């Protein structure tokens, strides 16, 4: 080509299918042909565009000037195809270059010309840059914030329905196999399908592709699709674009697209153990934003934590906790103090220690109630004593309180005791 005036350079047709994807970013009207400096893109209202030509350097992959000299192209490798959104313009056409400032990005069905005019300081090879490519794509083709797709009701599908969908997709496929799986996964994530059902569909599709082509890698393709699925859920949670029906329309026949649109959702089913474990595995602690510790009582009672106070009997555990509860209530927190172990007079004594009145925002309850119906034993003017008398039926000792008549405090524990102990023992 160097010896011939007939050619200006080689061309490259992006593969339409394969184990990796080649993304090509075209930055138009991005370079001043005279100074070779990056231009500054502005919107029609004069504001800076959300993406600037200099952002292409973040790819850190092969980059060269386009034939016009007014733009440049970045080539990267990625493990997913380009999601929906291929072209974005910023501002009006530049009369000097004849180009409209903006970005185009493609990963299939596109022919790229090469000039060999590589930008200085840039790698001379096409590098794997999935994360950077998706980040730039999201920045360019961001959409208005909506409710994340993952908050939609999770639908349960039977194997028969999933298998039928797989057959429809295979029979109606008009585009690359990997693009089909990526597209239908995006559509189903948007529609709130359970992840386990989407994975089952992918297994069906991969098995069918292997039946038609024995060289089609089942295990490798499935692992790749799982990574794509992770990416789709991450992008849906971040409210970024993922493949929709518009993307799928380029890969399947119209009747197949209509079949997918008309899928009937089933009633929500109980989440399986496998789904729960998959959710837990997908959300390790390091995947969340780091949080600072917030205290209700600094530095002993963190907010959102379960705190256990231990100590010997009479060491003041209950008094300390009551003191903390008062502090939290006075600070404006709603506090509930549950005390099932002690009778009402103990609770009244504790309230007396702290001013004789329960603090505002503090609820103190031990199952007592003014509306409680009196039992036949309480009508005998009872008092409480603690007994450790062995039960003749279960041969155990108990510290449960029993009811005695005041007129006969030394009576033998016979029938009433056995009846009460019978209820305690569950006999």
Q: 196-221: per-residue pLDDT in tens?
A: 889 889 988 988 888 788 788 888 88
pLDDT tens by residue, 104-118:
888 776 677 778 888
As a whole number of angstroms, the distance between CA 378 and CA 342 comes to 17
pLDDT at 382 over 60: no
Predicted pLDDT at 85 = 57
Whole-number average pLDDT of the chain: 76
- Percentage of the chain with pLDDT > 90? 11
Predicted pLDDT at 403 = 35
pLDDT at 184 over 80: yes
pLDDT tens by residue, 325-364:
988 988 888 898 888 777 788 888 888 888 888 888 888 8
Residue with tokens 């840039």: 122
Residue with tokens 């490519």: 133
Cβ-count burial of 164 within 10 angstroms (0-12 exposed, 13-18 middle, 19+ buried)? Answer: middle
DSSP H helices, 191-284, are 195-212, 218-237, 245-248, 254-261, 273-281
pLDDT tens by residue, 232-291:
988 888 888 888 888 899 999 999 998 998 876 544 445 567 777 777 887 788 777 777
pLDDT at 86 over 80: no
Cα first-last separation, the chain: 100
pLDDT tens by residue, 115-140:
888 888 888 899 998 888 888 888 88
pLDDT tens by residue, 161-179:
787 888 899 999 999 998 8
Average pLDDT estimate for 182-199: 88
Contact predicate 233/147, CB 8 Å: no
Give the model's confidence band at 63: pLDDT under 50 very low, under 70 low, under 90 confident, else very high. very high
Q: Which residues pair with 103 in a beta bridge?
A: 27, 88
Lowest-confidence pick of 55-69, 151-165, 216-230: 151-165
Question: Tokens representing 169?
Answer: 């997709």
């Amino acid at each position: 080509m160097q010896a011939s005036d007939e050619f200006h350079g080689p061309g490259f047709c992006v593969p339409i299918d394969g184990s990796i994807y080649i993304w090509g970013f075209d930055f138009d009207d991005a370079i001043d042909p005279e100074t070779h400096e990056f231009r500054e893109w502005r919107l029609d209202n004069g504001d800076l565009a959300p993406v600037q030509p200099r952002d292409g350097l973040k790819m850190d992959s092969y980059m060269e000037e386009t034939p016009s000299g007014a733009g440049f192209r970045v080539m990267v490798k990625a493990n997913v195809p380009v999601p929906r959104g291929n072209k974005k313009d910023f501002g009006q056409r530049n009369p000097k270059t004849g180009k409209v400032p903006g970005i185009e990005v493609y990963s299939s069905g596109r022919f790229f010309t090469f000039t060999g005019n590589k930008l200085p300081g840039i790698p001379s090879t096409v590098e794997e840059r999935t994360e950077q490519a998706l980040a730039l794509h999201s920045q360019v083709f961001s959409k208005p914030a909506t409710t994340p797709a993952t908050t939609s009701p999770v639908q349960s599908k039977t194997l028969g329905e999933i298998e039928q969908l797989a057959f429809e997709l295979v029979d109606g496929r008009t585009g690359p196999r990997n693009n089909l799986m990526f597209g239908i996964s995006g559509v189903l994530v948007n529609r709130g399908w359970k992840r386990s059902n989407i994975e089952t569909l992918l297994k069906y599709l991969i098995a069918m592709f292997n039946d038609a082509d024995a060289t089609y890698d089942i295990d490798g393709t499935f692992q790749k699709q799982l990574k794509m699925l992770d990416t789709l859920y991450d992008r849906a949670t971040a409210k970024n674009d993922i493949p929709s029906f518009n993307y799928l329309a380029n890969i399947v026949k119209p009747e197949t697209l209509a079949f997918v649109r008309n899928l009937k959702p089933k009633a929500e089913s109980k989440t399986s153990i496998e789904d729960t474990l998959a959710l837990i595995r997908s959300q390790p602690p390091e995947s969340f934003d780091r949080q600072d510790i917030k205290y209700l009582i600094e530095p002993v009672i963190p907010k959102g934590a379960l705190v256990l106070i231990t100590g010997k009997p009479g060491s003041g555990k209950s008094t300390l906790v009551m003191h903390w509860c008062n502090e939290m209530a006075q600070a404006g927190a709603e506090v509930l103090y549950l005390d099932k172990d002690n009778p009402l007079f103990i609770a009244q004594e504790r309230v007396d220690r702290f001013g004789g009145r329960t603090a505002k925002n503090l609820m103190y309850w031990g199952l007592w109630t003014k509306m409680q119906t009196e039992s036949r034993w309480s009508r005998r003017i009872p008092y409480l004593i603690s007994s450790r008398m062995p039960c003749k039926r279960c041969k155990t000792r108990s510290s449960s309180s029993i009811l005695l008549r005041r007129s006969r405090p030394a009576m033998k524990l016979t029938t009433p005791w056995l009846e009460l102990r019978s209820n305690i023992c569950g006999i």
